Amino acid sequence: MTAEIDRLVGLMRERHYVADREIAMAIHLAMKLGKPLLVEGHAGVGKTEIAKTLADALGTNLIRLQCYEGLDASSALYEWNYPRQLLHLKAAENREATTAEREEELFGTDYLMKRPLLEAILQRDQAPVLLVDEVDRADEEFEAFLLEVLAEWQVTIPELGTLKAQNRPYVVLTSNRVRELSDALQRRCLYLWIDYPNYEREVEIVHVRLPEIPNQLTEQVCRFVRELRRLPLEKAPGVAETLDWASALVALGAAQLDEEAVAGTLGAVLKSRDDIMRVRADMAALLAVACPAG
């Protein structure tokens, strides 16, 4: 098993995702046990990237269901293409046909609009990776429907019958903890919490994702961001913001952090006016930690 975990870590790193053994172990177990993996953590720490990287490593499709308030079963599963059905009826109105024949024509797969869940069920050649992103933003009613799909991996469409998955998808669910998920959903999944990386790992992530950035600038950026996360900010920066900020600094030709470079690029790492004003007030102290003398 150790060799398999190491191989998975290597495969993800080749795709520019720096995964530790805990992350790789959770993915490995979810795949072996055929269980969904529920990934929670702060915004911008790489939860969604796990599914994208896994799909790339497996050489399979990534199917993404983006959750939001008001998401319902039809939006996630399937809908009939009513405008196309009406056009077909109009074109065939002078042709003789029984009611059963017309229904068979109208409710065939040509008029079925597959949404992410049905697309995942119907994929035949290889099991896809199904990403259910920000599941905590969906309503509890949708969560109950999702549980049924994850348990059975089949769906009944009245006009077509029961469709069952030939290859059960690998499922990754992400949550930012906007609301508590139900006990039923949590029991159905393996659980993984992703925290902010420590300084050394964040430096490694920046090196892997943005190898063109000078070492000194990478280290200063990561130390500065580490200090930002210790402040009582409205929106603490995630790894995604660290990468955006480093890229912005390089785009401006900065070789190291100084007050002018930081002040001009804070909008890449902070997303709140109050946070920006607070950091500007503490600029000297933050720079002293991020850029130690010698």
Q: Domain of 279?
A: 199-290
Laid out side by side, the sheet with 170-175 consists of: 62-66, 129-133, 170-175, 37-41, 190-194
**Which has the higher per-residue pLDDT, 23 or 80?**
23
Tell whether 104 and 223 lie within a shared domain: no
In the prediction, which pLDDT does 162 show?
Answer: 87
Task: Tell me the average pLDDT across 19-45.
Answer: 95
Tell whether 210 and 169 lie within a shared domain: no
- Of 131, 157, 162, nearest to 27 by C-alpha is 131
Regarding beta strands 112-114 and 78-80, do their DSSP bridges make them parallel or antiparallel, or are they unpaired? Answer: antiparallel
* DSSP 8-class letter at 268: G
**Which has the higher per-residue pLDDT, 158 or 144?**
144
Q: What is the pLDDT of residues 237-263, one digit of tens each?
A: 999 999 999 999 999 999 999 999 999
Tell whether 158 and 266 lie within a shared domain: no
Q: Environment class of residue 250 by beta-carbon count within 10 Å: exposed (0-12), middle (13-18) or buried (19+)?
A: middle
Tell whether 27 and 134 lie within a shared domain: yes
Half-sphere exposure of 65 (CA within 13 A, CB side): 34
User: From CA 180, how far away is CA 177, in angstroms rounded?
Assistant: 6
Tell whether 107 and 11 lie within a shared domain: no
Tell whether 213 and 130 lie within a shared domain: no
Tell whether 108 and 231 lie within a shared domain: no
Q: What is the pLDDT of residues 114-144, one digit of tens each?
A: 899 999 999 988 999 999 999 999 999 999 9
Take residue 139 and report the two structure tokens written for it.
């309503």
In the prediction, which pLDDT does 281 show?
Answer: 93
Tell whether 65 and 138 lie within a shared domain: yes
Tell whether 267 and 217 lie within a shared domain: yes
Whether the per-residue pLDDT at 85 is higher than 70: the answer is no
% the chain with pLDDT above 70: 90
Return the SS3 of 78.
strand
Q: What is the pLDDT of residues 47-60, one digit of tens each?
A: 999 999 999 999 99
In the prediction, which pLDDT does 103 show?
Answer: 57
Please say whether the dihedral angle defined by the alpha carbons of residues 266, 134, 209 and 205, taken in this order, is positive or negative.
Answer: positive
* 88 confidence band (pLDDT: 50, 70, 90): low
Tell whether 47 and 13 lie within a shared domain: yes
End-to-end CA distance of the chain: 44
In the prediction, which pLDDT does 130 show?
Answer: 97
Q: Which of 53-62, 84-93, 110-119 has the lowest mean pLDDT?
A: 84-93
Tell whether 166 and 238 lie within a shared domain: no
CATH of the domain at 171: 3.40.50.300
User: Which domain-ending residue is among 68, 98, 113?
Assistant: 113
User: Which domain-ending residue is among 167, 194, 221?
Assistant: 194
Q: What is the pLDDT of residues 199-216, one digit of tens each?
A: 999 999 999 999 999 999
Take residue 269 and report the two structure tokens written for it.
């790492």
**Which has the higher per-residue pLDDT, 256 or 1?**
256
Number of domains in the chain: 3
In the prediction, which pLDDT does 195 show?
Answer: 94
Return the SS3 of 142.
helix
% the chain with pLDDT above 90: 75
Tell whether 57 and 151 lie within a shared domain: yes
Task: Tell me the average pLDDT across 54-80.
Answer: 92
With contact defined as beta carbons under 8 Å apart, do 242 and 209 qualify? no
Task: Tell me the average pLDDT across 89-96.
Answer: 64
* 163 confidence band (pLDDT: 50, 70, 90): confident
User: Which domain-ending residue is among 62, 94, 113?
Assistant: 113
| Mean pLDDT value across the chain | 90
